[in-house]
Every structure is written in structure tokens, then in C-alpha cells.
Amino acid sequence: MKTVIVVGAGVVGLFCAVRLAQAGARVTLLEAEAEEWSPYGPGASAAAAGMLAPLGEAESPHDTLAFASLDLWKRLRDGAQWADGVRFDGGVVIAETAAHAESFAHRAKRLARSAECLTPANVKRKTGLRSKVEHAVFVEAEGVADPVRVLSGLAMQVRAHGVAMRFNCEVESADATSARAHDGAVFEADAVVLAVGYWGCAKLGATVPALRQIVPGKGQLVPVTLERPLGPNVRAPGFYLAQRREDVVLGATLELGRVDRRANPEGAAELLAAAEAQLPGEVTPAGKGWAGVRPMSPDGWPLIGPSGGVLVAVGHSRNGWLLAPITAEIITAHVFGRHIPPEWAALSPARFGRS
């Protein structure tokens, strides 16, 4: 039986632990922080919006892989302990011009995904919003996860698969077959997977070259209320709105190089102003916002594969939630020596050369 150590219990690490255990590995999951799922805690996963939006603003060679990960979310939800924390109601993308809307819809259709340009009346029917939106597209393949609910459910799923979980266990160094904790404890296995956030990358980068590519990106969210429940996500220049299991969030800022977790009034004002310009009088702040620190890669896509003898699954930037399931598939293939198709190999840390 393969033995594997997974370092990091965010959404990526939890998915990796589940998938590896399902494949037959004996897995130990090590997490530096306490088992506490809160947007105000130290973990980036709990502080995220949970957006599952494969079709980004700009075309990418990884678009097909992003949609494959959304398909995994849909397939894995049925019967999972976190099933009630994920919804797939699509997304309404507000465009600046009719040409932009048509281009966006064309991109979706080229990827064999349903998309339609909407009239102002159809935007209102889809979203329940009052504002007149001239140019928009509805993309069916989109969703949102409630981070706190899904993280707690994934932790239950991990335990149900026999994974040994150790919290308050900060790993200070790692190599191909072992991880050493801050208290001197050494954990040995056939393979070591690092699924850590920015701080973990900063600490372990001395021995794992790929981690040196990761920089911090502070992102802020604001809880808001709307007159009516929101069905699909709404995305527009400068902001997005997502109806999660128990709240609606307005996001998200991005400040590269910032590592503080303080939600500042300027960030909230920036998001609220963008929403007000597009949807006047419809978005009302509903309490204290929060911020997280995303692990950002040079190109915005994760580094998944071997580096310095260990396997890394880091740098997911703004798509950690979306790409967690496909990341777990790639890591499992590496651990068990299975074929790595070209679209997976394209996310190898080697694409950035030597650090």
C-alpha cells in the first residue's frame, strides 16, 4: 500500500487526501493551524468566495482543464458530506458592449458549453435584479461553493476514508519521503504532497524550488444583502456577486504583495462603488467584511507536479476552489505513476524553469 503525507488542509489538500485514499493510499494529513473553518481565520480557503467559474475574462490554454474540474465538482457532489454546500445555477456575465458579450458566448460554445446573450428583460428574470443591463451572457457551466460548509464536509469525508489528520502541526521541512514538524516529529511516507498556502510556500521554499515562485495576493470580500435571492452568479467589470448557502458575497479585490488580513474600508468602498455603478441601489453591505491571502503564481495557474523530490499543488491564485478536484486527480496520477496527459503536464512547476 502506498503511504502519502499531504501537507495543508485547505480545499486543495483535503481534496488530494480524499482522492489518494480512494485510490488505495494510506494518507496522513498535516495542517499548521487548528481545525477551525472561519472566514476570519488564517486559512485562505475559508476566506474565499468559493467561485466555480471556469470561463474567465481572458482566454487561456487551460480553459478546457478548468471546465473539466467543474465537471468533477458536479460528479463528486452526489452523496458527499458537503453536497448541500455547492450550487450550480450558472453565471450571468455583464459585458461592456454587445461585441464583448457575443465574444464571451462564442468562447463558451467553442468549448462545447451552453451560453446565450441576454436581453435586459432576460437579465432581470435570471437574476431578480431590477437594474437594466444592456449587454450580458448567461453561462450554464458555473457555480459556487460555501467554503465553511464544504471544508467541514470535506474534513468529515477525509476521516470517513481513514485519513489520519493532525492539526496544529506546522511542517518546517520536507523531502521526497518525509516531513519534519516544528516540534521535531518526523513523518515518513512513500510520497510527500505540499498543498500549502502562501505562508507554507514562504517557509518551505528553501528546500522546494517551485515554492519560491509564489507571491501573496490579498483579496477582500464584503457580505451584502439584495432585495431578492440571487440565482446565478453575477460577474461584471470590477466585482462579482455570489449567493452561497447562507449569505451573499461581493468580491473581490486583489492587492499583490500584501500579507495582512485586515479588511480595510478602502477595499470595501471600491467593491461597493463598482456594484453601485452597474446596479444602482441594489447592493447593501451587511456587516463586517474579511480578507484572505491568496498564493499567486506568475501566470495565475497552479503549479502541480514534482519539485525538489516532493509533489507540489500550490499557487492556485484566484481559482483554488474551482481547480481543487482536478488538482487531486493530477496529484494522484503522479503518486501512483500513472500517465500524465499533456493538459495536466502543462501545469508542471517546470514551466517556469529553475527558480
Could you tell me if 17 and 124 lie in one domain?
no
Q: What's the structural domain count of the chain?
A: 2
Could you tell me if 241 and 288 lie in one domain?
yes
Largest CA distance in the chain: 63
Could you tell me if 292 and 155 lie in one domain?
no
Amino acid symbol at 7:
V
Start-to-end CA distance of the chain, whole Å, equals: 34
Which CATH number goes with the domain that contains 344?
A: 3.50.50.60
- The Cα-based distances of 41 to 36, 91, 222, 291 in angstroms read 7, 28, 16, 10
| 153 class by beta-carbon count within 10 Å (0-12 exposed, 13-18 middle, 19+ buried) | buried
Could you tell me if 311 and 208 lie in one domain?
yes
Could you tell me if 132 and 167 lie in one domain?
no
**Model confidence over 203-247: pLDDT tens digits?**
999 989 999 999 999 999 999 999 999 999 999 999 999 999 999
Contact between residue 331 and residue 313 where contact means Cβ atoms under 8 Å apart: yes
Q: Which domain holds residue 247?
A: 88-143+215-296
Could you tell me if 163 and 182 lie in one domain?
yes
Global pTM value: 0.96
Evaluate whether residue 278 is within a structural domain.
yes
Q: End of a domain among 248, 264, 296?
A: 296
Evaluate whether residue 76 is within a structural domain.
no
Could you tell me if 38 and 152 lie in one domain?
yes
Which CATH number goes with the domain that contains 283?
A: 3.30.9.10
DSSP letter string over 155-204? Answer: HHHHHHTT-EEE-S--EEEEETTEEEETTS-EEE-SEEEE---HHHHHHH
Could you tell me if 118 and 230 lie in one domain?
yes
Evaluate whether residue 68 is within a structural domain.
no
Evaluate whether residue 66 is within a structural domain.
no
Strand partners, 26: 3
**Model confidence over 118-142: pLDDT tens digits?**
999 999 999 999 999 999 999 999 9
3-state secondary structure of 87: strand
Could you tell me if 168 and 238 lie in one domain?
no
Please tell me the distance from the alpha carbon of residue 110 to that of residue 129, in angstroms, as a whole number: 29
> What string of pLDDT tens digits covers the 355 residues of the chain?
999 999 999 999 999 999 999 999 999 999 999 998 888 888 899 999 999 999 998 889 999 999 999 999 999 999 999 999 999 999 999 999 999 999 999 999 999 999 999 999 999 999 999 999 999 999 999 999 999 999 999 999 999 999 999 999 999 999 999 999 999 999 999 999 999 999 999 999 998 999 999 999 999 999 999 999 999 999 999 999 999 999 999 999 999 999 998 999 999 999 999 999 999 999 999 989 999 999 999 999 999 999 989 999 999 999 999 999 999 999 999 999 999 999 999 999 999 975 4
Instruction: Give the H/E segment covering residue 312.
Output: strand 310-314
Evaluate whether residue 227 is within a structural domain.
yes
Evaluate whether residue 136 is within a structural domain.
yes
User: Looking at residue 354, what is its pLDDT?
Assistant: 59
Interior angle at CA 93, CA 318 and CA 290, nearest 5: 40
Could you tell me if 199 and 242 lie in one domain?
no
Do strands 239-243 and 186-188 pair parallel, antiparallel, or not at all (unpaired)? unpaired
**Other Cβ atoms closer than 10 A to 112:** 9
Contact between residue 184 and residue 12 where contact means Cβ atoms under 8 Å apart: no
Cell triple for 291: 480578507
3-state secondary structure of 343: helix
Could you tell me if 154 and 44 lie in one domain?
yes
Evaluate whether residue 230 is within a structural domain.
yes
Could you tell me if 161 and 116 lie in one domain?
no
Contact between residue 295 and residue 45 where contact means Cβ atoms under 8 Å apart: no
Contact between residue 187 and residue 194 where contact means Cβ atoms under 8 Å apart: no
- The Cα-based distances of 145 to 83, 150, 199, 240, 243 in angstroms read 9, 7, 24, 14, 9
Evaluate whether residue 70 is within a structural domain.
no
